Amino acid sequence: MSGGLELREKALACGLLPRILERLSVISGEKPRVYEDQGGADSPQAKEVKDVKDEPQAQEADQAKKEEPKKNTEKKKRKGVGYSSKQGQAFDVVAYLENAKQRNEQIKTLIDICSGFLGSSEWRATDEVAHVIMESALLPLLEQAFRNGSWLDMAKAAEVYASYLALARSIASQPKLVQCLAKIDPKYKPPQRDPIQKLLRDLHGLANIFWSCLKQQEKPEQSEGAERPERLAKDVTRTHEDVHAALAQHSRDEAGDGFVENALSLPLEQQYRALLEGLRFDYMSMRDPGSTSSNGTSDYVHQYKALAAQNEGPPATKMIRLAQELADLSNALPCEHTNSIFVRVDKQRVDMMKALIMGSSNTPYAHGCYEFDIFCDNKYPNESPKATLMTTGGASVRFNPNLYACGKVCLSLLGTWRGSATENWDPKLSTILQVLVSVQAIIMSEDVYFNEPGFENEAGTVEGEKKNEGYSNIVRYANVKFAMLGQLKNPPRGFESVVQRHFYVKKYEVIKEVKHWLELASKNEAGYTGLVNDHNDSWCSQFKQSKTRYKDMLEEQFKLLEDALNKLDRPKDITNLIT
């Protein structure tokens, strides 16, 4: 049904599409959604659709009544293991599998009909067609299929999934229907758990992991069975890209530049989420296009590239665990103006990641962008991931007793510090997300000096508070110089839009915070001796030159920062704002 504008109009006029969707509901067992408003089922539009749907349901009810006497005459059997519906008759596995096969074939046929009907380039669906689809079992069926999560099971039913994915692409090709793939109106009941776009994004993550595993195999299988998951991975990637592009175009058409204007008119916390939530998680290439290694490919730009080369051929347990964690990260990463975390994963090596942790408000790290390189070797998850801080001012500053100038991160979860049993990495419970949040909340706190083991008992003492202020001053200055100005001038690859939007939205908040730091420099006494000097002797020697030296240096950096913030362009691209 690739053409035929007139044929489609006639088919819609006689209610063919609702009948096909009703049949799909009966065969699949998926319950249709119903739009529940004040008008409810009595609204004219709902009644018109209901009349069409009721006809096949009435026929099935009549058939059920005919069979009822037969069912009632059957002798009731005891429930429990070992009792079948007929005495002496065993469960027929072959018949069960054959019935399941026939059911899938019928579903596939109906899905293909819908896909062909909706995928015409000559015909354009209307809002009424969108409503019919919303009030059917079609979207719940796709959602359930894409929520499966098992690549093995999906590969076994590759033909059916090819039809599901083709249908999603057909829906995406229709401007009036593409909204069906995003989050739908909550008035449709039963409520939607996850929009199809989100489920496709998760499947795309699984496809990337599959490709990563396949590329790391020395001799990939060439059998028909091995080709199925490859075709599925290509199909998933194509569908994800088509749906993402269609929804982005839909947003531009619906709101265009007005979306950004509306977002920027919201309160700060809503602004931040609106403009950055869709950028929390993504895939990218971490190879350097300007370099070439001995095998003809470009080198990775990553702290753990040498270790990655030693960890080819990842075990299934590692990849399955990563698939689960990465699927969760896209929605679990915090995205608040007070604290947020962004993650990028390599397209070919999903065990190689980068994270951008934003310093939490009311800490010396506030608003700064701190880049971390992360790697999971082949012992993962039995052993913790590796993590290195890359924002160190060229190894010139130790941002914390647990964040070394060389980039080392001291944390019990990472196995780089001995903690109690409950603080150490637990393969069954610990996650990459837990590591990132721990770094942000526990290490990058306001009590910088007291993070050094054994020094926490100095908290509240005059000398201890002076040294904490001194260590905090070093962090504040380096934060402005390296984690703010440095990132604005040269944002980390893959995080360019994040850095630009982060500072554009928070410009006045950043300015207010740094002005507050300048006020503290005039009020609070700071100490630059002992542990503070041991960790940052170069900065201490400069700040000790005079009572106003730290404030003068911070003020100089603040002027540069304020100038850079005022030159930021207003965000325009909304391609990545779809969530």
The catalytically annotated residue of 14, 180, 376, 410 is: 410
Residue among 200, 213, 68, 222 at smallest CA distance from 143: 200
> Residue 406 catalytic?
no
- Cα(403)–Cα(395) distance, integer angstroms: 11
Burial of 145 (0-12, 13-18, 19+ CB in 10 A): buried
3-state secondary structure of 68: helix
CB 348 within 8 A of CB 285: yes
Which residues, including other chains, have CB under 8 Å from residue 313's CB and lie 6 or more apart? Answer: 216, 217, 218, 378
Neighbours of 223 (CB within 10 A): 8
| CA distance to 265, 299, 500, 520, 562, per residue, from 270 (Å) | 9, 40, 17, 30, 23
**Is-cis flag, bond preceding 190, omega within 30?**
yes
Give the type of residue at 399: F
Give the position of tokens 């099935």: 60
240, two tokens: 């994800």
CA 165 and chain centroid, separation: 20
Nearest to 470 by CA among 404, 521, 425: 521
CB-based contacts of 543: which residues, under 8 Å, 6+ apart?
Answer: 470, 473, 474, 526, 528, 549, 550, 553
Paired tokens of 451: 């993070």
Residue written as token pair 């249908």 = 167
CB burial string 391-419: b at 16+ within 10 A, e below:
bbeeeebbbbbbbbbebebbbbbbeeeee
| Whether the bond into 18 is cis, omega within 30 of 0 | no
Q: List the catalytic residues.
A: 410
